[in-house]
Amino acid sequence: MKQQTIVFKVSDNLKDEMIKFYEDRFLDKKPPYSVFQVKDYDCVITLYESGKVMFQGIGADIEASYWTEQERIINKRDIDGEINKEKEKKEEKKEDLKDDRFKGVATIGSDEVGTGDYFGPIVVTASYVSKEKIAKLYELGVRDSKKVTDDKIRSIGPILMKEYPHVTYILNCSTYNKWGITNMNQVKAILHNRVLTELNSKAKFDYKYIVVDQFCFPTLYFKHITKAKDKTTNITFTTHAEDKCLSVAVSSIISRYIFLTEMDKLSANLGMKIPKGASGTVDEVGAAIIKKYGMDKLPEIAKLNFKNTDKIKALIN
């Protein structure tokens, strides 16, 4: 029989039910960033902290069917439809990645980290990669930071910071909360414009493209930065820029390296491991922080407009 892999995100109201259903079969060892892993004779079930569940094996469809049906009945979700849409997106991405405009040419690119994390800052970096420096990046194995392990990022981040011209801006949570901007795309646009403009003011770089990942339509991007005193406008926007353009990948890794360093500092200062992301684990840690340091600590370390804030308050009441 054919091996199958079925992956989908479990709704929050079913996550605890899934954990209880499998808890007597949890393996002692589990993959990184997972809540549990269970192995039956014809299927392996893994639930990740992100909420994604993966069923692998010849019995994957049978095992998954119970949960997809629960999602349909309780949450009115069409999981099969969602999975098919995800497959279509992957096919579209394959086509998109055939875009090779940025290969072998000098570029400036920017990328950000932390916009999906409740705790910690938003870090955005703009970097310049000359033709002469491209080969070095292939040697280092540079690619989108989301596809590189944290250990690898900690290893090559300092090298990239030393050898490639860049500008980084760290938006701490206190400042983020004072801004009061609820549109994250607007925050990103402001920060990207800031680092790109500052990098270009440092030197006259010889480049063919300035590349930014298209997180919103270009017209909206420029609308978001109308109040900026200085603007960088000769931008090429493209989806999956971190996979296509080395300067964006460099910026991605530098930003991630600095973000990890800031999270390490935060964990040390609070005396507890501060998790990334915005999962239920984040809510539990948030409640522990409030119990230890009081509610006033939260605006210093967290993005208050995230839904996690209300969930944390519910946990301590």
CATH number at residue 51: 3.30.310.10
> Rounded to 5 degrees, what are φ and ψ at 8?
-155, 165
My answer on whether 176 and 245 are in the same domain is yes
What is d(CA 193, CA 242) in angstroms, rounded to the nearest whole number?
Answer: 17
Q: Is residue 102 part of a domain?
A: no
Task: Report percent pLDDT > 90 for the chain.
Answer: 83
**Res 69 pLDDT > 90:** yes
My answer on whether 90 and 129 are in the same domain is no
> For the chain, what is the mean pLDDT?
93
My answer on whether 118 and 65 are in the same domain is no
My answer on whether 168 and 312 are in the same domain is no
pLDDT at residue number 1: 60
**How far is residue 217 CA from its own chain's centroid?**
20
**Res 96 pLDDT > 70:** no
My answer on whether 117 and 86 are in the same domain is no
Boundary of a domain, candidates 35, 65, 96? 96
My answer on whether 15 and 118 are in the same domain is no
**Global confidence as pTM:** 0.74
Boundary of a domain, candidates 63, 96, 129? 96
Boundary of a domain, candidates 51, 75, 96? 96
Give me the sign of the Cα torsion angle 275, 276, 280, 284: positive
My answer on whether 157 and 247 are in the same domain is yes
My answer on whether 84 and 151 are in the same domain is no
pLDDT at residue number 266: 97
Confidence of residue 93 (pLDDT cuts 50, 70, 90): low
Q: Is residue 136 part of a domain?
A: yes
Q: Is residue 215 part of a domain?
A: yes
Residue with tokens 């370390």: 301
Instruction: Tally the domains of the chain.
Output: 3
My answer on whether 218 and 115 are in the same domain is yes
Q: Is residue 177 part of a domain?
A: yes
pLDDT in tens, 204-233: 999 999 999 999 999 999 999 999 999 999
Q: Is residue 235 part of a domain?
A: yes
Confidence of residue 99 (pLDDT cuts 50, 70, 90): confident
**Res 88 pLDDT > 90:** no
What is the span of the domain harbouring residue 297?
273-316
Parallel/antiparallel/unpaired status of strands 44-48 and 122-129? unpaired
Q: What's the token pair of residue 258?
A: 């600095």
My answer on whether 91 and 127 are in the same domain is no
pLDDT in tens, 13-55: 999 999 999 999 999 999 988 999 999 888 999 999 999 999 9
CB atoms within 10 A of CB 63: 20
* Residue whose C-alpha is closest to residue 38's, from 48, 27, 47, 28: 27
pLDDT at residue number 79: 92
My answer on whether 34 and 146 are in the same domain is no
My answer on whether 143 and 114 are in the same domain is yes
